[in-house]
Structure 1
Amino acid sequence: MVRFVLDVDLDEVVGDPAEELSRILRYWAGNVKHYPFEPGATEVVSDSAYTPVGRWFITAEPAPGAEG
């Protein structure tokens, strides 16, 4: 199983968390095609103030709590 994981610490974003998460999702939705879709691919995620607030990564690990 290969998974794409986006991890954003909403307590760390500048401004309204809903607005910041919306901006992050729009940005990465358009940019993700430029990255390899293989386990180990990763990138830092920043808010509108260019402060790192998380990361996305591709993993072969099962989802937390997933059986199998």
Structure 2
Amino acid sequence: MKFVLEVTVDEDAPARDRAGELGRILRYWGGNLHHYALEPGDGSAVYDAAYQEVGAWRVVSS
């Protein structure tokens, strides 16, 4: 299987803020990993701290 995570971060934000937001997204997703079967076809939207959709993850066949 292949896990794909795509997130768009604010290019105008300082690098520290971008890294912080991406870290928060990864921690949140990682903490909820047990809720997913992680089989091809699984996926979900990814949201930032302001609950704005900023990307998505998906599982595909490798």
Q: TM-score range by the shorter chain?
A: 0.7 to 0.9
Kindly report structure 1 stretches of 4+ aligned residues shifted beyond 2 Å: none
CA RMSD of aligned residues (A): 1.8
Q: Which runs of 5+ in 1 are unaligned?
A: 63-68
Q: Which has the larger radius of gyration?
A: 1
Equivalent residue for 1:3?
Answer: 2
Q: Which runs of 5+ in 2 are unaligned?
A: none
Give TM-score scaled by structure 1 length. Answer: 0.77
User: 3-state SS of the aligned residue for 2:54?
Assistant: strand
Fraction of identical pairs, as percent: 51
Give TM-score scaled by structure 2 length. Answer: 0.84
Higher helix share: 2
- The alignment of Structure 1 onto Structure 2 pairs a total of residues equal to 59
